[in-house]
Amino acid sequence: MTLDPNIRAALLERLQFYRELGVGPLYRREVSRPTTPDPGAELIDGLAAIADELEAEAETISEESYLPSANTGASAKAERRPAELEDRSARLRLILDDIGPNCQRCKLAKQGRKQIVFGTGAPNAELMFIGEGPGADEDAQGLPFVGRAGQLLNNMIAAMGLKREQVYIANIVKCRPPGNRTPERDECETCSPFLMRQISVIQPKVIVALGATAAKHLLGLNDSMASLRGRFYDFSPPGTLTGGEPLECKLVVTYHPAFLLRDPRQKKEAWKDLQMVMRHLGLSAPKREANPENP
């Protein structure tokens, strides 16, 4: 029997995740068979065969993920990665399912949050924005950056010649801190594994860290924004593997849109940071229509 590709990809992703955590191998409990013919026996055998196949496939991926390969070309990566894993939407849904609708892993769950704010955008985006945490509007709608800061971020994305739907947007923590306070270290560390898995699925070429909290957590640095901005960082999220190769991308730090709303004078500096990203991705700003009164 055949298994739906989306379900297969989700099951395989979960098995691989368990193996990366050191859980496994997984065993199926033997079920006694009736002596008389069972019309469901064929279905049971088919499901058992699929389970064995998925387990073996997950084990192979897990082993290859930690072994160096002599062939590092694009074709080699394609061979090592099952086609089903290309369904990134299914893999992102799996991460969301693992978090659960009422996550209780940190104290933010008991401090007034309404819902999980997972992330939004293109699952195969080349550009990913990571902010600090949800605010009141985000907590109400379940989407990141939908308030005033989100409107400014939309304008920043448009100025780069992109649409919001073409990038991916997430936060360091997925629950609103009370009073929009800065997320605490233990809260960031609790959410971090899920964010790293999101990055691993999306495989962006560039990550833009919005604000000091996101930048310091992602880079593990405690420098000022002035010191962190203006350069590319080589970023390899811990625990993320793509087809047996560590995921590597570039990371740029810029001001959080909420800060730019408070201090509009820094918008020019933020635009310089985004122009660095545009050059790296080969983007060009959209041409503005000429104003007859101010050509």
pLDDT at site 77: 41
Residue 165, amino acid:
E
Q: Confidence class of residue 18 from pLDDT cuts 50, 70 and 90? A: low
| Rounded Cα gap, residues 136 and 153, in angstroms | 16
| Rounded Cα gap, residues 263 and 280, in angstroms | 27
Domains in the chain (CATH in brackets) are 5-66 (no CATH), 103-281 (3.40.470.10)
Mean per-residue pLDDT, 89-112: 95
| Rounded Cα gap, residues 152 and 270, in angstroms | 12
Pull the structure tokens for residue 154: 């939309």
Condensed to tens digits (0 to 9), the pLDDT of residues 199-215 reads 999 999 999 999 999 99
Q: For residue 56, report the phi and psi dihedrals to the nearest 5 degrees.
A: -65, -40
Q: What is the secondary structure of 73-138 as a DSSP string?
A: SHHHHHHHS-GGGG-HHHHHHHHHHHH-TT--SSGGGGTT--S----EE-TT-SEEEEES---HHH
Pull the structure tokens for residue 112: 């007034």
Mean per-residue pLDDT, 182-196: 96
